[in-house]
Chains A and B, each alone.
Chain A
């Protein structure tokens, strides 16, 4: 739905980052390469570079978030941008202002970028079509559609541990139905050319037609984890559950919770990931979440570097004229 037409400028460079779907392998790899370079900034004495000095970035969060919002904020600050945090759910829109009036108000404040989190699928895409041409939009999660920066920080984490995507078997486990993370991850894994992507979940938490995305579906977790290199756990999204999709959390944990015994089915050097926040004892056992295979906290640090890369790539205008630069 977001395709690559709106995401790229006429030279094929990233203008908005709304979805991993439709972007080329070379572009995704370029995000990972730039992120690798930005990661080194976090290890320095002065954890800041002047790249986006003078730019203003607005974090528009129509839905609550802590880690995504704060890592976007930290990423913007490390790039020397000024950042506004707007918690829209408690501000103007509750006084009756329309979305487009909110956007125009922020444009009048000379914002250069909107980072958007919204409960409705397609919200970031809609905003990207409405804003002035100089503004870039980054999707920080829209409904159950996409969460592309989370997917890319996961790809970054996988590459740091496993290097070559082409040999990897990856299992995504849990609430696929409500997961924008899973959807963005599947597109990214396909584009980066992993050997196999599996999804492991009960029938009720798998969206119709998911096989069309080229994944293998497992309902038995022990089989689904056999010989995988990467286990990506998803949070059980209780707030999005409408109707009786699950008998109980205890029963879910018994069948789909990641325990040390289950993890033993995967390769001995498998890594365990989770986008957070973790429901301990619901989708993952504490001994695994805190265990030697877990890279969950690294994912958070990598999120800053990946978000710096995406912000820098979308904000820089590109030109064929290289001119005098030495």
Chain B
């Protein structure tokens, strides 16, 4: 399946769709935040092509995950870094792969600990379906269907490639 996905083309489409969406909703100066690690890599590309004025924000959702009691502390240790206050801002939240929706829930909880944004728009490169929470992306690069046990992961940061694994059941 990885042969059929051209990442650069996908990122260009994602960036165009994000621009169109922001224009349509009159978000002139949105604050872009990428979820570490993969989401932050995708966000960096989008941030460059959209030429946003403010630096890119990065979110490490390790402290907000709901699987702490079964999995322990997530190894991602680089701290979250938001360049500006989120209060009353239109946030573009970026992740690489949308699956159960739990990462996005954690990210939104963390954002609200920084303040009260005007809105949050979710942009994902891949929607692999299999949601466990009522969370949907506003802008999706590509939707694919994977079986339980199959995984897709973005590898990076240079170059960005998609890795598929698992056999499914």
* B62 located at the interface, meaning its Cβ lies under 8 Å from any Cβ of chain A in the complex: yes
* B148 located at the interface, meaning its Cβ lies under 8 Å from any Cβ of chain A in the complex: yes
A37 and B77 contacting across the interface, CB-CB below 8 Å? yes
* Across-interface contacts of A39 in B (CB, < 8 A): 79
A34 and B77 contacting across the interface, CB-CB below 8 Å? yes
B residues 91-129 near A (Cβ < 8 Å) are 97-100, 102-103, 109-110, 113-115, 128
Would A317 and B109 be within 8 Å (CB), given that A37-B77, A37-B78 are in contact? Answer: no
CB distance from B104 to the nearest CB of A (A): 9
Q: How far does the alpha carbon of A41 sit from the alpha carbon of B81 in the complex, in Å?
A: 10
Q: How far does the alpha carbon of A50 sit from the alpha carbon of B65 in the complex, in Å?
A: 9
Would A45 and B113 be within 8 Å (CB), given that A51-B63, A324-B99, A326-B98 are in contact? Answer: yes
B70 and A319 contacting across the interface, CB-CB below 8 Å? yes
Q: How far does the alpha carbon of A83 sit from the alpha carbon of B94 in the complex, in Å?
A: 36
* Total count of chain B residues near the partner, CB < 8 A: 32
B115 and A319 contacting across the interface, CB-CB below 8 Å? no
* Across-interface contacts of B103 in A (CB, < 8 A): 325-326
* B72 located at the interface, meaning its Cβ lies under 8 Å from any Cβ of chain A in the complex: yes
A313 and B71 contacting across the interface, CB-CB below 8 Å? no
B77 and A13 contacting across the interface, CB-CB below 8 Å? no
A-B contact count (CB 8 A): 77
Would A51 and B114 be within 8 Å (CB), given that A316-B73, A326-B99 are in contact? Answer: no
Would A41 and B77 be within 8 Å (CB), given that A13-B72, A48-B113 are in contact? Answer: no
Shortest Cβ distance from A316 into B: residue: B72
CB distance from A11 to the nearest CB of B (A): 9
Q: How far does the alpha carbon of A218 sit from the alpha carbon of B71 in the complex, in Å?
A: 47
* Across-interface contacts of A41 in B (CB, < 8 A): 63
Shortest Cβ distance from B149 into A: residue: A324
Shortest Cβ distance from B67 into A: residue: A325
* A33 located at the interface, meaning its Cβ lies under 8 Å from any Cβ of chain B in the complex: yes
Q: How far does the alpha carbon of A39 sit from the alpha carbon of B73 in the complex, in Å?
A: 15
* B15 located at the interface, meaning its Cβ lies under 8 Å from any Cβ of chain A in the complex: no
A317 and B114 contacting across the interface, CB-CB below 8 Å? no
CB distance from A77 to the nearest CB of B (A): 14
B114 and A45 contacting across the interface, CB-CB below 8 Å? yes
Shortest Cβ distance from B63 into A: residue: A49
* Across-interface contacts of B98 in A (CB, < 8 A): 326
Shortest Cβ distance from B103 into A: residue: A326
Q: How far does the alpha carbon of A48 sit from the alpha carbon of B112 in the complex, in Å?
A: 11
CB distance from B49 to the nearest CB of A (A): 25
* Across-interface contacts of B64 in A (CB, < 8 A): 49-51
A313 and B113 contacting across the interface, CB-CB below 8 Å? no
* A44 located at the interface, meaning its Cβ lies under 8 Å from any Cβ of chain B in the complex: yes
Shortest Cβ distance from A46 into B: residue: B113
Beyond the given A45-B113, A323-B71, please list 10 additional residue pairs across the A-B interface where CB-CB is below 8 A: A45-B114, A49-B63, A49-B110, A50-B109, A51-B73, A316-B72, A318-B72, A319-B71, A323-B67, A326-B99
What is the interface of chain B, defined by CB distance below 8 A to chain A?
60, 62-65, 67-73, 77-81, 85, 97-100, 102-103, 109-110, 113-115, 128, 130, 148
Q: Which 8 A-B pairs have the closest CB atoms?
A: A316-B72, A326-B99, A40-B79, A49-B63, A318-B72, A46-B113, A33-B77, A37-B79
* 6 A–B pairs (Cβ distance < 8 Å), ordered by A: A34-B77, A45-B115, A49-B113, A319-B70, A319-B72, A326-B103
What is the interface of chain A, defined by CB distance below 8 A to chain B?
13, 30, 33-34, 36-41, 44-46, 48-51, 312-313, 316-319, 322-326
